[in-house]
């Protein structure tokens, strides 16, 4: 029988700037407001796809855990070995699972480090590297925009004909540079500009998502639902009025209700109680505002076999990234969207050895491939959607990543 692989977690104690610790190379992040996890190096990785991908991911993760001899002097959620995950939107494409060699965590001023292997405790960077990215050339043209406006109009027609209630349509935007793109500069900028979002990096997919698909911690489930968006003007008084109009918009409230209902229905069979606020709040980000609702629940104690993977299988895809009814909306997406989403709009985040985890929906993101990047943005289309306004909304959503890469 092969010997077990040591995995050690120890306290660091001090407050650490997580994203500034990342070295060049394979690195991973899930950071919000300075707290979270970063990792680098790859101990093990795999891909999964197909209708059983969440079950296959669980099987692989558990098989890796059986190989570890874990010494955890920190305890608590997000300590010990960590699985970083980035699932594709469609079951037909590859989802990525990675266990980093080194993980550093921060929570409320407390920090810790975990490393895989028998080596001594890894040294952290004393001073952050100065990083800048090359200039990008964006490949955007009016014809592409017109094609997307046509697709939105087709979706609205399907809604009016009674086929579906809501569908989310996405578009992409690509850019190239003379040299390779270093994601660390963009991650730092995203974190500074959007501190209330979860800044993530997994296998070249980077972004800052405001939408928490699932947090599971000690039997408590939380999901933050976003649907309904309006661009900010930059003028505080004007933005206050815009926030009020968003909160009263029948089109946006309808879109939001579909998204909340899909999450609540997915969680209900596994929870002894759920809490769903009657009205959404307005979440203010640097560039846009969203209608938001935090759905919470307590897992049924007798269902001890329910874990993050079980819940992911139920929650994805939600109405916030697919539509209502889910299966019909997914069919419309495949018919008229005209592109591969890859891991955009899929679950992204981390899972620990206890089965706790935090995963968002991969929004406001881009896929880096050496010296090119592909950005994604999507809009929820309902009966009252105006194709021109949806194009403007998608442009506003692109601005987060475009600004971080500038």
Q: What is the mean pLDDT of residues 361-372?
A: 94
Q: Residue 224: in which H helix or E strand, if any? A: strand 220-231
Q: What is the mean pLDDT of residues 377-399?
A: 92
Burial of 219 (0-12, 13-18, 19+ CB in 10 A): middle
Q: What is the mean pLDDT of residues 397-401?
A: 92
Which of the listed ranges 54-58, 227-231, 265-269 does the model predict with the highest average pLDDT?
A: 54-58
Q: Identify whether the C-beta of residue 159 lies closer than 8 Å to the C-beta of residue 167.
A: yes
* Percent of the chain surpassing pLDDT 90: 77
Closest CA to 387 of 148, 134, 160, 227: 148
Please report the pLDDT score of residue 191 as a whole number: 96
Rounded to whole angstroms, the Cα distance separating 296 from 375 reads 31
| Average pLDDT value over all residues in the chain | 93
Buried b / exposed e across 333-372, counting CB within 10 Å, b at 16+? Answer: beeebeeebbbbbbbbbbbbbbebbbbbbbbbbbbbeeeb
Please report the pLDDT score of residue 132 as a whole number: 80
Read off the pTM: 0.93
Burial of 132 (0-12, 13-18, 19+ CB in 10 A): exposed
pLDDT in tens, 305-329: 889 999 999 999 988 899 989 999 9
Q: Give the residues across from 274 on adjacent strands.
A: 297
Whether 173 shows a pLDDT value over 70: the answer reads yes
Whether 207 shows a pLDDT value over 80: the answer reads yes
Rounded to whole angstroms, the Cα distance separating 184 from 40 reads 12
Burial of 76 (0-12, 13-18, 19+ CB in 10 A): middle
Whether 127 shows a pLDDT value over 90: the answer reads no
CA distances 269 to 114, 224, 273, 277, 304, Å, are 35, 18, 10, 19, 13
Instruction: Find the Cα–Cα–Cα–Cα dihedral 31, 284, 170, 163, rounded to 10°.
Output: 120
* Domains present along the chain, CATH in parentheses: 5-122+135-405 (3.60.120.10)
Residue 327 contacts by C-beta under 8 Å, 6 or more apart in sequence?
none
Q: Identify whether the C-beta of residue 251 lies closer than 8 Å to the C-beta of residue 229.
A: no
Burial of 276 (0-12, 13-18, 19+ CB in 10 A): middle
Rounded to whole angstroms, the Cα distance separating 243 from 247 reads 6
Residue given tokens 């558990």 in the structure block: 62
Query: Where is pLDDT greater, at 228 or 114?
Result: 114
Burial of 373 (0-12, 13-18, 19+ CB in 10 A): buried
pLDDT in tens, 215-265: 999 899 999 988 888 888 888 899 999 989 999 999 889 888 888 988 899
Q: Give the residues across from 197 on adjacent strands.
A: none
Local confidence band at 57 (pLDDT 50, 70, 90 cut-offs): very high
Please report the pLDDT score of residue 1 as a whole number: 61
Please report the pLDDT score of residue 288 as a whole number: 86
Q: What is the largest CA-CA distance in the chain?
A: 68
Task: Look up residue 248 and give its two tokens.
Answer: 């009263």
3-state secondary structure of 40: strand
Burial of 65 (0-12, 13-18, 19+ CB in 10 A): middle
Q: Identify whether the C-beta of residue 288 lies closer than 8 Å to the C-beta of residue 196.
A: no
Whether 130 shows a pLDDT value over 90: the answer reads no
Residue 305 contacts by C-beta under 8 Å, 6 or more apart in sequence?
none
Please report the pLDDT score of residue 144 as a whole number: 86
Rounded to whole angstroms, the Cα distance separating 388 from 249 reads 17
Secondary structure of the chain: what % helix, strand, coil (to 5)? 30, 35, 35
* Percent of the chain surpassing pLDDT 70: 100
Q: Please provide the distance, in angstroms rounded to a whole number, between the alpha carbons at the two ends of the chain.
A: 52
CA gyration radius for the chain?
A: 21
């Amino acid at each position: 029988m092969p010997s077990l692989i040591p995995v050690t977690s120890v306290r660091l104690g001090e407050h650490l700037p997580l994203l500034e610790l990342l070295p060049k190379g394979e690195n991973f992040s899930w950071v919000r407001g300075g707290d979270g996890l970063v990792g680098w190096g790859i101990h093990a990785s795999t891909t999964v796809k197909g209708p059983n991908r969440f079950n296959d991911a669980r099987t692989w993760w558990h098989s890796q855990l059986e190989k570890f001899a874990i010494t955890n002097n920190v305890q608590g959620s997000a300590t010990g070995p960590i699985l970083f995950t980035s699932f594709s939107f469609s079951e037909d494409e590859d989802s990525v699972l990675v266990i980093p060699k080194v993980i550093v965590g921060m929570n409320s001023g407390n920090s810790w480090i975990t490393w895989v292997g028998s080596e001594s405790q890894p040294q952290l960077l004393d001073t952050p590297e100065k990083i800048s990215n090359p200039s990008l050339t964006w490949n955007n043209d009016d014809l592409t925009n017109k094609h997307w406006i046509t697709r939105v109009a087709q979706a609205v027609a399907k809604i009016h004909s009674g086929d579906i209630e809501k569908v989310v349509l996405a578009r992409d935007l690509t850019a190239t540079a003379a040299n390779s793109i270093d994601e660390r500069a963009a991650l730092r900028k995203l974190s500074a500009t959007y501190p209330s979002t979860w800044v993530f990096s997994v296998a070249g997919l980077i972004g800052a998502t405001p939408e928490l698909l699932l947090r599971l911690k000690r039997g408590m489930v939380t999901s933050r639902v976003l649907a309904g968006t309006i661009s900010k003007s930059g003028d505080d008084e004007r933005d206050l009025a815009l926030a009020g109009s968003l909160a009263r918009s029948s089109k946006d409230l309808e879109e939001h209700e579909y998204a909340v209902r899909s999450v609540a229905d997915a969680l209900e069979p596994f929870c002894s109680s759920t809490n769903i606020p009657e009205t959404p709040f307005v979440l203010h980000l640097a560039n846009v505002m969203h209608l938001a609702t935090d759905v919470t629940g307590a897992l049924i104690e007798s269902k001890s076999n329910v874990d993050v993977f079980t819940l992911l299988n139920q929650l994805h895809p939600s109405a916030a990234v697919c539509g209502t009814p889910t299966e019909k909306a997914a069919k419309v997406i495949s018919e008229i969207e005209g592109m591969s989403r890859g891991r955009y709009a899929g679950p992204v985040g981390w899972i620990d050895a206890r089965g706790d985890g935090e995963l968002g929906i991969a929004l406001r993101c881009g896929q880096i491939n050496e010296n090119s990047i592909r950005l994604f943005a999507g809009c929820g289309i309902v009966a009252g959607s105006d194709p021109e306004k949806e194009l403007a909304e998608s442009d506003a959503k692109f601005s987060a990543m475009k600004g971080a890469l500038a």
